[in-house]
Amino acid sequence: MRLYSYSASEDKYRDLRLVWPEIGRSYFDYMDSLNGRRLGAEWIPFKVEIEPKWWKRWPDFWGINYAPAFNRRAREVFEPLLEGVVEFLPVEVVNYDYELFFVNVLDVEDCVDYERATWRWVEFEDIGKLKLIKKYKFHAACVERKLIFRVRNGRSWDSIITERFVEVTNRHKLKGLYLGRLAFLDDTANDE
């Protein structure tokens, strides 16, 4: 089974620009609070602008700084499959009349095989050196029935999607997902 880091394609499709919260310390604190707990009534919607480039198509999958966001069509497809696994939270689009939802991934079960993962050190101005995962390895039993889940990587979270998620995407002809392979679960496969 292949696993992918969730990423929206920005080459052929329109992109989002975050208007609020602004990128900065409070933004990182805000994003860090999205750690698998339900937000529901306490959610304060992100404000975003959709880039106005007319030659780019409208995707079904978006990204808010690497966090998943779905349009109404993608939500309708995935909502029954992801019940209890994600929470769809409204996003305020300030320059178009468009329905968009931030996907708060609630499944943060730790599926990383830390002994087999490859690590690297990264230097940050504000906190110094931090050890981050360079190449993931996962416990197969942990991810085999999942569509999407989150893992901690240093000071941020990565949303991971599985082949099953991609199959649903293709079956419903949803657009805008970038598939940069992250890992294979089968140790015999070449996942370089």
State whether residue 132 is helix, strand or coil: strand
pLDDT at res. 186: 52
Cβ pair 160, 149 in contact under 8 A: yes
| Residue boundaries of the structural domains of the chain | 2-113+122-183
Lowest mean pLDDT among 7-11, 56-60, 62-66, 82-86: 62-66
Provide mean pLDDT across the span 139-163: 86
pTM as predicted: 0.84
pLDDT higher than threshold 90 for residue 124: no
Among 8-17, 59-68, 98-107, 117-126, top mean pLDDT goes to: 98-107
pLDDT higher than threshold 70 for residue 27: no
Provide mean pLDDT across the span 21-40: 69
- Is pLDDT larger for residue 109 or for residue 186? 109
Cβ pair 101, 88 in contact under 8 A: yes
Is 94 exposed, middle or buried (CB count within 10 Å of its CB: 0-12, 13-18, 19+)? exposed
Share of the chain above pLDDT 70, in %: 85
Contacts by residues 138-143 (CB-CB < 8 Å, ≥ 24 positions apart) = 138/3, 138/111, 138/112, 138/113, 138/183, 138/185, 139/111, 139/112, 139/113, 140/1, 140/185, 142/109, 142/110, 142/111, 143/1, 143/3, 143/111, 143/185
Sheet containing 16-20: order of strands: 16-20, 47-50, 86-93, 100-105, 67-71, 61-64
pLDDT higher than threshold 60 for residue 191: no
